[in-house]
Amino acid sequence: DAKTTQPTSMDCAEGRAANLPCNHSTISGNEYVYWYRQIHSQGPQYIIHGLKNNETNEMASLIITEDRKSSTLILPHATLRDTAVYYCIVRVPNYGGSQGNLIFGKGTKLSVKP
Amino acid sequence: SQTIHQWPATLVQPVGSPLSLECTVEGTSNPNLYWYRQAAGRGLQLLFYSVGIGQISSEVPQNLSASRPQDRQFILSSKKLLLSDSGFYLCAWSVQTGLWPQHFGDGTRLSIL
């Protein structure tokens, strides 16, 4: 799986948009970008994933650059409960076993402040 | 809807004691199942995965073993715990094919004394 690079930490004001960047310059053509987050002392929570088109769901939006070498996760109106470590992962689709396993790096610690 | 349960939430064990952590999934059939460990301040490390009953693959050599006696049950075990086995253990499941993401339980925090 391709390696990703994320800032160690970021701050965001409550109610504002949180934009979390991720670089994945060595991503291959069949690798998807996945985002998870982990709130302290809980298991990681899936947020969103995409291949090359921008994606949106009830939690967030994912913007992937045209060359696919970077992406941005957007939380449109951050709340205090969005304070967590956010992980950007690139991997091939889960076709079973090791091919679909997630490799988590250190992620970005997002602190939402009142 | 699908749910995943792990227990216990926290566990304190002496060195050399045995271990059994259990994970069960509800609301789906024939899932892929995974055990991860997260050491303090570090990312997740995949320990084992299973694509079916009795089918276990190990990602790293270690003091732990896994078993899948039923379709939606995944067990992490050790005969003799080491200090280095301390950490946050997470079970996850996913649909077996395609783009489906992995969904995690709330984890077990294991402390070895």
Question: Chain B within 8 Å of A101 (Cβ-Cβ)?
Answer: yes
- pLDDT at A100 (0 to 100): 54
Angstrom CA distances, B107 to A62, A95, B9, B112, stand at: 27, 25, 6, 16
Over the range B77-113, which residues count as b (16 or more CB within 10 Å of their CB) and which as e? ebeebeeebbbbbbbbbbbbeebbbbbbbebbbbebe
| Residues of B contacting chain A (CB within 8 angstroms) | 6, 32, 34, 42-44, 46, 49, 51, 57, 59, 88, 90, 92, 94-107, 109
Handedness of CA A47, A43, B100, B57 (dihedral sign): positive
**For A48-107, how does the pLDDT look when each residue is reduced to its tens digit (9 = 90+)?**
999 998 999 999 999 999 999 999 999 999 999 999 999 999 887 655 555 556 777 889
Using 50, 70 and 90 to split pLDDT, how confident is the model at A109?
very high
Residue predicted with more confidence, B40 or B48: B48
State how far residue B70 is from chain A, nearest Cα, in angstroms: 17
> From CA B66, how far away is CA B53, in angstroms rounded?
11
User: Which residues from B are below 8 Å from A9, CB to CB?
Assistant: none
Beta strands A108-113; A9-13: pairing state: parallel
- CB nearest A106 (choices: B43, B57, B107): B43
Question: Chain B within 8 Å of A46 (Cβ-Cβ)?
Answer: yes
Number of C-alpha atoms within 13 angstroms, CB side, residue B13?
24
- For the segment B84-108, the average pLDDT, to the nearest whole number, is 87
Residue A108 has pLDDT above 90, yes or no: yes
- pLDDT at B99 (0 to 100): 67
Nearest CA in chain A to B104: A43
State how far residue A113 is from chain B, nearest Cα, in angstroms: 22
> From CA A29, how far away is CA A42, in angstroms rounded?
32
